[in-house]
Each structure stands twice: as structure tokens, then as C-alpha cells.
Amino acid sequence: MGDERVCPSSTLDHATRLLGVVGPDGRVHYVSPAPALDDDFRRRVRESGGAERRFRFAGSCVESGCAQWTGTRCGVIDTVLHEAEVQVDGRLDTELRPCTVRRDCRWFAQSGAAACRVCPLVTTDSRVS
């Protein structure tokens, strides 16, 4: 991917792959490898509704094309890190969970291991239907 950053919280419309499934506990449970999305999957997910509440998708970071872009960085992970009261459970940076996008992840590039620790807590769309 080179210098292109990956958004780990893309909408279905802009996603290129499935990153994880939101479990009953509200946490994202990652799938590995992260499968590419095809038209059939997109159609079925749209028909059943609530795609971003049930899944986490990854896609290209569009920077200034995104409402979350602050002008220099993604505001989502900054907000999550600022507001979340997360117990880190003693993991060291070298003990992070496996991740299929970390190498190119916008959040990891900005905030390092701290972003990885809160990432499972982020759902793209948490509105109640």
C-alpha cells in the first residue's frame, strides 16, 4: 500500500474489506485475514440494515474528504483516546492483538499502541434504530 493510510472505521460505501464483527458485548471481534468485499456481500448487508453497527470495515483514508479529518489527522481516534476510560490490562506495546491493517492504519500511525488498545471499542455507527 505504500504511503496510503487505511481508515479502520470506514463506512460500507467506502470500504474495501471487512475488518471485524461487532459482538453482543459491543466490542469489535476482528476477522483474519480481512476479506475483500464483493458486490453480493454489500447488497446483503445493505438489505439487512445497520451495516456499520454490526460490522467494522476498512478502506482508504480519504483525509480532507472525511468529516472526521481535523486538517492534519483523524479526529476519531483522538476523541476516543481522550474520552474513553479504558483499562489497558497490562499489555505491552509488543503484545498487541494481531491486526490485518496495523502496518498502514491511520490510527496506529497517529497514536501507536494506544490506538490499538481502544480500537475494539469503536463502532462506526452506534445510533439506536
Q: What is the pLDDT of residues 69-119, one digit of tens each?
A: 999 999 999 999 888 754 445 444 456 888 999 999 999 999 999 999 899
Between 68 and 125, where is the model more confident? Answer: 68
Q: Which residues neighbour 79 within 8 Å (Cβ) at sequence distance 6 or greater?
A: none
pTM: predicted TM-score of the whole model, two decimal places: 0.84
**DSSP per residue over 34-45, as a string?**
-PBP-HHHHHHH
Q: What is the pLDDT of residues 31-43, one digit of tens each?
A: 988 888 999 999 9
